Amino acid sequence: METKPEIHYGLEGVYIAESGISKVDGTLGRLYYRGYSIDTLAQNSSFEEVCYLLLYGKLPTEDQLNDLDKKLKKERAISEDTKGLIEGFADKLSPLDLLRTAVSAAAEDDSKPYSDNEAENVEKAIRIIAKMPTVSAAIWRLRNKKDPIEPDSNLGHSENFLYMLSGEKPNAEKAKFMDVMFIIHAEHSSNASTFATLVACSTLADIYSAVTAGVSTLKGPLHGGADEAAIKMMRDIGDPKNTESYINEALAGKKRIMGFGHRVYKTYDPRARILKAYLERAKDSADEDVRKLIEISLIAEKLMIERLGESHGIWPNVDFFAGPLYLWAGVQTEVFDIIFASSRSLGWCTHIIEYWRNNKLFRPLEVYTGELDLEYVPIERRS
């Protein structure tokens, strides 16, 4: 009798590649990009510098950083065709569907979408990373019957994104927060969307197709959308004083509390810890609606840690605190997923480029459980 092989559902516990890009330590609650802790980078670095670090494998010199900054700014603008595509489907597709379509269409502007030259693919990656926030801002504005705002080359990557959303240059505090969000969402090892990009690129599909696969993966609620779901829960709670009763009832009914627990982290998500510090500061300058959400999130965090933290290993993840902070910075809920994709495009592109150095087509096996050697019955004899 044939022995049934062990099946690792969801590929849990299966290693798919070697990588020097990032390390996620779920036991100790640590995250590293190229050996640098996420705490250090969030405090001291910029998205542009992290972009150089991930793409080139080391921190840049001042000249190298200036050169990358110029390239990113040069590539920010999107074509009239892309704007027309977004406008044409703005009322018919969700923001994530629009982003996926726009990323796929970006290959049209590249005379050589696929390349086996790493330097050329790094340039393509820079083009994608630069355009994603511009596309995301255009999606939000066109869906809300507003004209897109052209990028401002005097502003940094994250600061410019906020400007393209509202038409107003953000203050230093919100600009820094947005930069931190781009940094902490830039990369997270081989999660679902990153794995999807690797499967696509392993066929030698071009980098645009592979990134499109990553965007598509975010459509599912098990990978994308948790921060928006957490905001919905906070709005259902309504008032900070209702938080404890809501949490108690949810736990008694064994309902999931959105924004808590993680597939890898069995302790406090290091990215959530960074955001909590911003949450405390944002409360003082937030409007009443957002201030209530912030207070609800802080109370819920305390209650959940008391009840499930040490005992069950369920801690806040990055999505729980992201929503109230996005709203404080002027980023509306329908933009959450697409700005995450804009940030993660850096990680996707870096993994694609790395994987192509030792490419192997993904071709997993499956165990067949159906019947064999069935008799074919002509259609006129089938009942």
Query: Does the annotation mark 319 as catalytic?
Result: yes
Contact 328, 314 (CB under 8 A): no
Query: Does the annotation mark 8 as catalytic?
Result: no
d(CA 178, CA 161): 9
| CA distance to 370, 371, 374, 377, 380, per residue, from 383 (Å) | 21, 20, 16, 10, 8
Which strands sit side by side in the sheet containing 30-33, from one edge to the other? 22-25, 30-33, 36-37
d(CA 253, CA 251): 5
d(CA 232, CA 54): 34
Q: Which among 206, 262, 269, 337 is annotated as catalytic?
A: 262
Contact 102, 212 (CB under 8 A): no
Q: Which among 227, 319, 337, 351 is annotated as catalytic?
A: 319
Closest CA to 38 of 324, 354, 347, 356: 347
| CA distance to 120, 258, 325, per residue, from 332 (Å) | 35, 18, 10
**What is the 3-class SS of 142-188, one letter each residue?**
HHCCCCCCCCCCCCCHHHHHHHHHHCCCCCHHHHHHHHHHHHHCCCC
Contact 333, 278 (CB under 8 A): no
d(CA 103, CA 211): 8
Q: Which residues are catalytic?
A: 262, 319
